[in-house]
Amino acid sequence: MMMAAARPLMVRWAARLVDDPAIAEDVVQEALIEVHRTVADLREPEAVAAWLHLAVRKHADRHRRRRRPELVLDVDLHGEQESPSSDPADVAEWSEDRALVRRALALAKDSDRLLLMLRYYGGWPEADLAVLLGIRPGAVRKRLYDARRRLRGELADQSSVTPLVAATDPWEKLMTDVRALLGAMYDLDDPMPALPPGSPPLTRPESPGRLATGIKVLDTLVPLPRGGVVDVSGPVGTGHLVLVAEILHNLAAAGSAALVAVACAECSPTGVSARLWKLLDAQAPAAAQTAVVCAPPGREAEAVSLAGRLAAWLAHGGTTVLLAVDEVVAQRTGPGLFANTVGLCANGPGAVTGVRVAAHAVDAGPVEPWPGADAEVRLGTAEMIAGQLPAVDVLASHSTLLDGPALSPEDRAAAQEARTLLARAASIRAYLTQPLQVTQPATGIPGEAVPAEEALAGLGRLLA
C-alpha cells in the first residue's frame, strides 16, 4: 500500500533528476526494489519521505553516470569564422591551422566532436550542454577536459600546430579533472571514475594550526585542527550534519573547500548512524562541493582509500578538504582510519582534516571518543532544547589546540576563563534544580524542601 501510494511522487522526483520519462520509470522501479529489500531497517516511520527521496536520488545518479552521448555531429566549418588578422601570411597560417584542427575533429570520437564543436564553435555554455547530455555540469567539464586532451594528441600527430585549446600546467589540469567528481555519490559496485594513481604524501603536523570555521563556539572554545582529526558525536537529532555542512559553507565562502564523505551503504538512512550522503541534498553550495562514497559491507577500507585519494588530490590543488566518515565505517575500519589520509600539503595551502561523525540513540550512552582525535566536539540535547546553535556541549568537548602553540597566550587564557565560567554556571544551574514533592507520585523521586538560609549558604559557597 505504501509503495503504491508513494510511486507517483517518486516518479515526479525522478523526472526532475533525469530527462527521459522511460529512464525515470526505471529509476523508480529500482528505488522501490531497494526500499522493499530494506524496509525492515526503517526505524522512524515519519522519515519515510526522506528515505524514499534518497533512494530515488541514488538510482537517478547511477543512471546519469551510465549514460553516454550517442549523437553524431556532421558540421561543415567552411566560412564560419574569419582570420583575426588581415596580413596575408597570418591569414595563410591561420587557414592551415584551422584545416588541421578540422581534420583532427573529423578523426575524433563522435562524442568528443559533439562537445568541442558545441562548446568552442557553437558557444554553448556548460549548463546547456549538461541539459543536452543529461549529466551534471561537473561531468561536462570533465568530458571537455578529456576531449581536449585527446584532440591535442591528434594534433601533435599531424603537425606542430598550436592546439585549439592551449595546454596548461599538468597539475592544474588534474585538479580541474578531480574537482569535476564533486557533487555526486559513488557506489563501489558501479563503474568508478578514474583517479590519478597517487599524489605526494600529506604531512601530519605535530601541532596543528586552527581551522577557521566561522563558528564562534568552535573557533574560541573548541578550536578544530587544520590537517588533524575531529570527532563529532552526540545524540541523534542534535545537528551533526548541519554542523558539518555549516563548516563546509563557511570554508567555501573563504576560499576553495570540499567535503569527501564515506558512508555505510547497508544501513537505513533513518538509523542511528549519521547518513553523510544526506549532504548531497543540502542547500548550495554544500551539495555542489560534496562527494560521497558508499561503503558496502566488507569493503569499508576500499571506500576509505578511494575517498582519501580524492581528498589528497583536491588538497594538492589548494583545496581545504573535510574527509568525513560515519561511525559504522570508522568502527569497521579501525583506529588506523585517518593514519595516511589527513595532513597538510608540503607545497601549497591545501589540507585534509579528518572528521568522524558519530550519532547515538537518545536513550543510549555516549559513543567512545575516537582514538587520537585532536578535537572532540560533543553535541547535547540540553543545548538543542535551549535553542543553542550549534548545540555544542562545551564542557564535554575538548581540543588539544588549547594546550599548544596554535593559539596565542591571550586566546588560551580567554578560552580557559570562559570554560571556567560555563562550568560554574552549570554547577549553579544543577544546584538550583531540586525534586518537587507534588510530582513525587509521577516521578517516583522523593521531593525536598530546603530552608532559605541553607539555600543561600549553599549558593554563597558556589559563588566563592
Average pLDDT, the chain: 77
**DSSP characters for 289-320?**
GEEEEEE-TT-HHHHHHHHHHHHHHHHHTT-E
**What residue segments make up the domains of the chain, in order of their start?**
2-66, 88-167, 209-425, 435-463
Task: Quickly state the pLDDT bin for 77 (edges 50, 70, 90).
Answer: very low
**DSSP characters for 107-144?**
HS-HHHHHHHIIIIIS---HHHHHHHHTS-HHHHHHHH
Q: How far is CA 445 from CA 195, 429, 435, in A?
A: 61, 19, 7
Task: Quickly state the pLDDT bin for 36 (edges 50, 70, 90).
Answer: confident
Highest mean pLDDT among 7-21, 211-225, 434-448: 211-225
Higher pLDDT, 331 or 37: 331
Cβ atoms of 63 and 190 within 8 Å: the answer is no
Q: Which of 142, 119, 151 is nearest to 132 (CA)?
A: 119
Q: Of 77-81, 212-216, 298-302, 351-355, give the lowest mean pLDDT range.
A: 77-81
pLDDT of 92 over the 70 cut = no
Q: Which CATH architecture has domain 88-167?
A: Orthogonal Bundle (1.10)
pLDDT score, position 168:
39
Is this structure's pTM higher than 0.85? no
> Fold match between 88-167 and 209-425?
no
Task: Quickly state the pLDDT bin for 221 (edges 50, 70, 90).
Answer: very high
pLDDT score, position 161:
33
**CA pair distance 6, 22, nearest whole angstrom:** 18
pLDDT tens-digit readout, 142-184 = 787 777 777 766 665 554 333 333 333 343 444 446 777 787 7
pLDDT score, position 445:
85
Q: Which residues contact 372 (CB under 8 A, 6 or more apart)?
A: 229, 335, 338
Cα torsion 389, 320, 137, 100 to 10°: value is 170
Angle between helices 170-179 and 300-316 (to 10 degrees): 130
As a residue count, the chain comes to 464
pLDDT tens-digit readout, 102-151 = 666 666 676 777 787 777 666 778 788 888 878 877 777 778 777 777 77
CATH of region 209-425: 3.40.50.300
Task: Quickly state the pLDDT bin for 72 (edges 50, 70, 90).
Answer: very low
pLDDT tens-digit readout, 242-284 = 899 899 989 988 888 999 999 887 654 444 344 565 665 554 4
pLDDT tens-digit readout, 349-406 = 889 999 999 988 888 888 899 998 999 999 999 898 888 999 999 999 999 999 888 8
pLDDT of 238 over the 50 cut = yes
Q: Of 76-80, 101-105, 340-344, 388-392, give the lowest mean pLDDT range.
A: 76-80
Task: Quickly state the pLDDT bin for 437 (edges 50, 70, 90).
Answer: confident
